[in-house]
Copies of this chain bind each other. A is one copy, B any other.
């Protein structure tokens, strides 16, 4: 199912399908037509059918899609059908916000540890996790099956931190530092550049005037 090359635009839409399908399940809905899905997703019904056809197409003519089957298939494609263990580097407000994000658990994301260099932050409790000093990072990663590192460190520290984490075996970086990481080919990052995002808003504001 994953052999076909799927466009990144489709992949970007999958979490939204997942979200809306989860809401339908919460509401007790068992099946949904491409038309209904398209209204939720704010794309055309033909786009919905085309998107889902990428994965072999789970719909049946005249029946629509089985909501929980479709959601489970999308979860598999997104790799959230089993737990993904994560550490957070940086125990400031942003790191704590991420660690405390309630939705993550339902998406099978598990925050296993938070690390910081600042002695004022080390020892702080975020939910049931105590912020650890960076000096314990190596041992922690060696003893836990961590697949993702979230970087909420200052820009200046991010590249070196990514390099260190890579050397410890981490390959997936969720990067909040305002810098583009330079990673070896077998590693990848997803950037959340907050001020870049905010500038999209001011652009819209500016061009509306």
Q: Which residues of A contact B (CB under 8 A)?
A: 2, 11-12, 14-16, 18-19, 42, 77-80, 84, 92-94, 96-98, 100-101, 103-104, 107, 109, 147-148, 171-174, 178, 180, 186, 188-190, 192-208
* Minimum Cβ distance to chain B for residue A43 (Å): 12
A14→B190 contact, CB < 8 A: no
User: What are 21 pairs between A and B in contact, CB < 8 Å?
Assistant: A2-B207, A15-B193, A15-B196, A77-B203, A77-B206, A78-B203, A79-B199, A79-B203, A79-B205, A84-B202, A84-B205, A92-B97, A93-B97, A94-B97, A103-B178, A104-B195, A107-B195, A107-B199, A171-B208, A190-B198, A190-B201
For A193, what are the chain B residues with a Cβ–Cβ distance below 8 Å? 15
Given A190-B201, A202-B84: A195 touches B109 (CB 8 Å cut-off): yes
Cα distance A186–B12 in the bound complex, in angstroms? 26
Cα distance A16–B19 in the bound complex, in angstroms? 29
Cα distance A195–B80 in the bound complex, in angstroms? 11
